[in-house]
Structure 1
């Protein structure tokens, strides 16, 4: 592919205009009036049933008063276009850029400061939200990226947290992943303080990808965003607390999380395909609402649809691929299939000795706490194709020899099958051929195949 220009500007509006112009067949625009209550999800569901995953733009949704863009991350091809690469190059490209962080740059102003609401003028009814599933407690912000700073060290962090309207000036949010933001909140609790935060709702897709990156504590995802852009992320300071937020964001909420305040949050349709009310039930008090005058609602489609899964999974795949290849040169590919939500992984390898596949699977199960099942196959299997992996499992795998399980490990709190205390078991299935395999694969001569392709091509033309 040629160099992409989709990341030249950090403005989502510039991106969306360029993408519509360059890839019109990959964008579906709905101008017909639809409801904010499940209609957008229903459209994504109907498209998925047809095997389609376009970037979906809905221009007239209920009384939201803003256009809605969703399904942006449903396609790996679309994500690869952000970097000007092929889907096969996506892992390496993402990880290479993420490993070259560029510190952000503060600017005096930006479109996010077009409109500022505080005091009596502030009402979260001004923030557009969609109800995604019938079982959801209410409308949700699925693209809620919370930026916070450690109360002691000043270290910054960005992460996604589902959020719903709790009161006129408060959101109920969940920190159930118990990651870096949770750690910062516990530090604030020990100091008897609130944790000041800013929530970004809508920004350039490279910023959104950076927020999903898997980083050690102390790394600032805003610098990773700079690495993905290849230029400093432009930030402005929020009016009250001076938190750095993207100058070109669509909406920003500035406020604080009180460690002692709680509100019921959930259920919400999660990546597992089930509604979950497992939540830390935190309250985010909103002190300031910032928005562009021409704002869009950039939604991340929840549930087990491709967008939610791919956005969260791509950085994990890239990280696991990098780690495995560094430790095990035999690894040729890593893939987390949609069919397994976040719980399954396929790994392909050129096995140099018996037992190597098992060693690699153990490493994966130890590194990624979400994984429950890993299937190892030979490198000639296309692990992006479930049917090929299942064929390898059917023909290369013997249950009494090629399976192992581990019990009592921490798992995802959103796994409906996990124990009450959050533990799960994990499993590795070795579907490689192994040194004792004596099957001969039925294959066609490549010249004959090419002759058939050319014949069909001529008939089609």
Structure 2
């Protein structure tokens, strides 16, 4: 893999996230590249292509022109550079050796990338998500869309799509960036979520969903009525759609209108021919089919967000009657396992949901982080503004009640950035006493993906790393004067050091 050529599209250096977000919002990113990313004369800002163009204009998209195989090689490249530029594979070889559609990955592997994709700044990501949840925008239904340019009946998934195999102990290749739309025919409950699909041959695939996930709930309800659940798996989505699909909401709360609110305009959707499900019109590919909760399949080992394998036993199977796609489709993948994009897609969405859930219990919550260090699922940091005695512990229990996966909660003052692991560790080192501020709760019910669960339980740890009046008379930090710092920044700017 070391001889693979990475051809940068731009030689620009460090990126200004605010400037990039503004470029993306106003459609001023480079749209003249000569490949499939920009094949449309004018592409919608609701497509993944607009985001890829913005990345390219910032020098954050690298193209790999050498032939690359679906089995392990794409995964190897993404893993080796998982915190670096997004990768665009232009010469992907299928199992038969034929060249298939291009593949992109590592798109949302940092908070600045999330900010760019959502048209905001890093500091405002959480506020943007909360505003979108509170004020979703209704769809705009189109008669047709780019994702329906080609129609393939009864598709053979492995032949029609470049589905990579990621890790050697897994049972097969996986679709990892599929946003799944489903709707209950009786209640009208609609759900948008992400789950991995492992092709089983022909038009069938295993769908990896936990029993408590809303998609599984809808599938069981349909099965109880003697039905299968209609689903549509959408691949190659705008970041707003992907992030919305990861949100922790109530059953029946539709995530697609939230994607529209994140875009700042109604999401354009089209109807699937068979089921009538509404899907993003500007995605790349749509697999239309049904989920059968009565057809179990044992998946075997699968990589998880914590970086190891889990074996969840039997799951459910989907059968796809139709594949629709753009005539020049791009296939998006998310590198699974313990890698930044996989962790942050969960962590950013979970953190926003936590703010929404725990502010009703403690109004002083200012920010929540669920970062890569805790695999985007297991650790949370909560910043409080002027916490009163006892509020830190109240927040700990509110977090554990809201998200079963989280086992460690650190509470900090709001002068600490909860997404900055160094600042959080400093707060813990200088503001907490283990004998007083560490809370251990043993034997709490655990999620099935908890790497250390035993008999379905795990202990929980809370750390109160906030300032206490009895600990010190003076909490002021030793810093140069403000005029000196202002002059220093001026000097450093003149010398191009900042």
Given that 1:151 and 1:184 are in contact with CA atoms closer than 8 Å, whether structure 2 keeps it comes out as no
Shift of 1:19: 3.9
Pairing partner for 1:435 from 466, 469, 479 = 469
State the alpha-carbon separation in 2 of the partners of residues 86 and 123 from structure 1.
38
State the alpha-carbon separation in 2 of the partners of residues 263 and 98 from structure 1.
35
The 1:349–1:31 alpha-carbon spacing in structure 2 relative to 1, beyond 3 Å, is same
Q: Which residue of 2 aligns with 1:17?
A: 53
State the alpha-carbon separation in 1 of the partners of residues 361 and 309 from structure 2.
38
State the alpha-carbon separation in 2 of the partners of residues 451 and 235 from structure 1.
52
Equivalent residue of 2:75, what SS?
Answer: helix
Shift of 1:237: 2.1
Shift of 1:39: 2.4
Aligned 1:300-339 pairs, distance under 5 A: 300-325=334-359, 327-339=361-373
Aligned 1:243-254 pairs, distance under 5 A: 243-254=277-288
Pairing partner for 1:230 from 264, 268, 274 = 264
State the alpha-carbon separation in 2 of the partners of residues 247 and 457 from structure 1.
45
Shift of 1:14: 3.8
Shift of 1:154: 2.2
1:349-384 alpha-carbon deviations (Å, 9 max, x no partner): 234432221112221121121110001122222322
The 1:355–1:134 alpha-carbon spacing in structure 2 relative to 1, beyond 3 Å, is same
Shift of 1:298: 0.8
- Greater relative contact order, per chain length (Cα 8 Å cut-off, separation 6+): 1
Q: Which residue of 1 aligns with 2:77?
A: 43
Pairing partner for 1:372 from 407, 410, 430 = 407
- With normalisation by structure 1, the TM-score equals 0.91
Q: Which residue of 2 aligns with 1:93?
A: 128
Q: Which residue of 1 aligns with 2:438?
A: 403
Q: Does 1:212 align with 2:246?
A: yes
Q: Does 1:66 align with 2:101?
A: yes
State the alpha-carbon separation in 2 of the partners of residues 135 and 420 from structure 1.
25
Q: Which residue of 2 aligns with 1:54?
A: 85
State the alpha-carbon separation in 2 of the partners of residues 440 and 203 from structure 1.
47
Shift of 1:274: 0.8
Shift of 1:12: 2.4
Q: Does 1:239 align with 2:273?
A: yes
The 1:443–1:290 alpha-carbon spacing in structure 2 relative to 1, beyond 3 Å, is same
Given that 1:122 and 1:289 are in contact with CA atoms closer than 8 Å, whether structure 2 keeps it comes out as no
Q: Which residue of 2 aligns with 1:416?
A: 451
Given that 1:344 and 1:374 are in contact with CA atoms closer than 8 Å, whether structure 2 keeps it comes out as yes
Shift of 1:252: 1.3
Q: Which residue of 1 aligns with 2:15?
A: none
Shift of 1:90: 0.9
Given that 1:158 and 1:222 are in contact with CA atoms closer than 8 Å, whether structure 2 keeps it comes out as yes
Pairing partner for 1:5 from 26, 29, 34 = 26
Given that 1:164 and 1:173 are in contact with CA atoms closer than 8 Å, whether structure 2 keeps it comes out as yes
Pairing partner for 2:149 from 114, 127, 148 = 114
Equivalent residue of 1:401, what SS?
Answer: helix
**More displaced stretch, 389-398 vs 152-161:** 389-398
Equivalent residue of 2:181, what SS?
Answer: strand
Shift of 1:440: 5.1
The 1:279–1:453 alpha-carbon spacing in structure 2 relative to 1, beyond 3 Å, is farther
Shift of 1:91: 0.5
Q: Structure 1: any 5+ residue segments left out of the alignment?
A: none
Pairing partner for 2:460 from 426, 430, 433 = 426
**More displaced stretch, 279-288 vs 162-171:** 279-288
Tell me the number of residue pairs that the alignment of Structure 1 and Structure 2 aligns. 454
The 1:319–1:126 alpha-carbon spacing in structure 2 relative to 1, beyond 3 Å, is same
Shift of 1:141: 0.5
Given that 1:149 and 1:197 are in contact with CA atoms closer than 8 Å, whether structure 2 keeps it comes out as yes
State the alpha-carbon separation in 1 of the partners of residues 281 and 388 from structure 2.
53
The 1:282–1:409 alpha-carbon spacing in structure 2 relative to 1, beyond 3 Å, is same
Given that 1:146 and 1:160 are in contact with CA atoms closer than 8 Å, whether structure 2 keeps it comes out as yes
Shift of 1:453: 4.6
1:25-50 alpha-carbon deviations (Å, 9 max, x no partner): 222222222222222332233224xx
State the alpha-carbon separation in 2 of the partners of residues 352 and 295 from structure 1.
51
Q: Which residue of 1 aligns with 2:3?
A: none
- With normalisation by structure 2, the TM-score equals 0.85
1:26-77 alpha-carbon deviations (Å, 9 max, x no partner): 22222222222222332233224xxx43222121222351111111111211
Q: Does 1:181 align with 2:215?
A: yes
State the alpha-carbon separation in 1 of the partners of residues 254 and 185 from structure 2.
15
Equivalent residue of 1:157, what SS?
Answer: strand
